[in-house]
A and B are shown apart, each in its own frame.
Chain A
């Protein structure tokens, strides 16, 4: 069986995590030129939302919008024209907890805002409202393999439609008691604007990706070079993107293996600009 390879360009990158304030700040760390210093993820209120929505926006929405903003700014494309794929292990954890608590109380008084924002596509919905985009949007989960699933879906959309797609992968910890069942240590988010290989972006150094689905385990998942950063990769689904971001930061020709779950693997071959 011939292996289909999906060829796409990376037109913009966003990142936000502990000690990884942004893609532009974190590149030196990801290249190995500076040590990774673990620090709480800073989640700024999303400036794109009107003040009332901004205050109510939970951490999932803040994180998703922060990384989406950075990637979109880098690619120089009008965000209202972009289709989106939002990958996350689950919906907003603080909403889920608050709803479960309310439903366990005798009155069962549920906040309508919390309920509306409990859908997993809430960050996508807020993003599309904020940038006035009518483009298609998919929100998906593959548990720990959610980033790989999102990358596959976004790349397939680029190939199918010939248009750029904004991929956002973002995971935020649950409060206790759910945190004990799903212990995500930090919020981590990343975003990639993917486009057809014919589309070179003015603003960012254009990295080309060749993505293939493999069913035979050719190798282990690619690890981060720094052991502490690799522990973060193992602990947060969106941080599974870090080896790919390391390769992009290094601007080297590299093969990154991502575990797509259930015996499926994504092999991503990077070709830096001008290589």
Chain B
């Protein structure tokens, strides 16, 4: 593909709202994960909750969209001059020539889950439940399109934990086909009961903080996040970074277990490298999907080695942010841009004893590095895989 400029980006996770607190937390190897305290959930696990979300009200004009997921979207949009950058793009290209392509797995399901506790005598849901503007998969797309005053093609990709990586590929194709000149991409996923109790039912939640690449890793810590990027053709100013390539594949193997040798992941990474016209040796860092389940990390370790060899520094930043599911691809793309801009490889946290069965050079302490190109992996239920290659601005 023709490199595509990332002219603005922002992320809000358990590490903080916006790039500055995120960078500070990553620089100091601090986690945003805490033992779960969320509503009345009693699960022995850790979560990455975004601070202040309960108080982050939407402007009254947008009341119909008001739910945890859209509050998180709105909180996320208000940092790093993202709104101003979108306004400039809207002025430059026209509102109809800017797409809105977002990923989510949860949308605003939480409000409906809680509504089921307040059902009436005939089983009916309370009147304050708003399906279209809050619960439906598309609700976050409808809200963000409205908040950003855009009129370009808008849809929400919902492929579990690869959702917000895949929207980068969709945006790149749309811009290349001259349908639009710019796209707001990213993901928003918020804590809810279905994901917490669902992953618990699969015995995939770590009772402890999640420990990717650790010999005793026992599963994931769920987080929530909003991450956004503005992709534009022909940037006026130097961009933050470039989207160089995207790759997508499907395992066609099992709904919730990755292919043991990572066949689908290998195909996605190879496609991303081919799209970027880069040799494997050009990749200076891999932000792993790294969920910290025993099988996921083993499969990804084999897959990355098959594509890039055994020398490329790798880490999973989910020990800092938690697994933000439908937002994970967007969050980790943003972390990759931070790494490119600030010249460092972020550490993978919480490794006590590296798993001897895993062979990748897993980075356990922050390292300064002038990175030219990096790769980010996102995989999910249903065997879905997406890889992004991102490059330094200059």
Contacts and interface: CB of A to CB of B under 8 A. Distances in A.
Interface in A110-133: 110-112, 115-122, 124-126, 128-129, 131-133
B105 interface: yes
B124 A143 contact: no
A64 to B, nearest CB: 12
Contact of A136 (B193, B194, B250): B250
A215 B83 CA distance: 22
A103 interface: yes
B123 A177 contact: yes
Given A129-B255, A141-B158, A134 B380 contact: no
Interface in B126-168: 129, 131-132, 136-139, 141-142, 145, 150-160, 166
Contact of A138 (B117, B159, B251): B159
A122 B382 contact: yes
Contacts of B176: 160
A181 interface: yes
Nearest to B161: A119
A149 B250 contact: no
Residue of B156, B201, B250 contacting most chain A CB atoms (<10 Å): B250
Interface string B190-234: 000110011111100000000000000000000000000000000
A178 interface: yes
Contact of A121 (B116, B123, B124, B159): B159
A99 interface: yes
A142 interface: yes
B337 to A, nearest CB: 23
Given A89-B136, A213-B153, A116 B173 contact: no
A202 to B, nearest CB: 26
Interface string A84-114: 1000011100001001111110001111100
Interface string A250-275: 00000000001111100000000000
Contact of A134 (B109, B137, B201, B251): B251
Contacts of B137: 89-91, 120, 141
B156 A141 contact: yes
B325 to A, nearest CB: 10
Contacts of A157: 173
A261 B380 CA distance: 28
A90 B201 CA distance: 22
B384 A125 contact: yes
B125 interface: yes
Contact of A135 (B131, B156, B178, B249): B249
A152 interface: yes
A181 B131 CA distance: 6
Interface residues of A, number: 69
A110 B198 contact: yes
A117 B174 CA distance: 30
Nearest to B264: A134
B119 A177 contact: yes
B250 A264 contact: no
A260 B138 CA distance: 13
Given A141-B137, A260-B153, A134 B252 contact: yes
Given A112-B202, A119-B158, A134-B249, A99 B194 contact: yes
B383 A128 contact: yes
Given A121-B382, A156-B174, A264-B154, A129 B201 contact: no
A119 B137 CA distance: 10
Residue of B145, B155, B255 contacting most chain A CB atoms (<10 Å): B155
Given A140-B155, A262-B145, A89 B113 contact: no
Contact of B153 (A122, A129, A264): A264
A110 B179 contact: no
A178 B155 CA distance: 22
Contacts of A21: none
A190 interface: no
Nearest to A181: B131
Contacts of A104: 113, 116-117, 119
A124 B201 contact: no
Interface in B305-325: none
B156 A262 contact: no
Interface in A160-199: 160, 176-178, 180-182
Contact of B173 (A2, A120, A132, A156): A156
Contacts of A9: none
B62 interface: no
Given A125-B382, A140-B156, A141-B137, A153 B170 contact: yes
Contacts of B174: 156
Given A112-B201, A116-B202, A119-B158, A160 B249 contact: no
B138 A215 contact: no
A119 B202 contact: no
B116 A139 contact: no
Interface in B239-292: 248-256, 263-264, 267, 271
Enumerate the 7 nearest inter-chain pairs by beta-carbon distance, A residue then B residue, closest first: A125-B382, A115-B198, A215-B96, A136-B248, A120-B158, A141-B137, A104-B116
6 contacts: A103-B193, A110-B201, A121-B381, A136-B248, A182-B136, A263-B96
Interface of A: 1-2, 4, 6, 80, 84, 89-91, 96, 99-104, 108-112, 115-122, 124-126, 128-129, 131-143, 145-146, 149, 152-153, 156-157, 159-160, 176-178, 180-182, 213, 215, 260-264
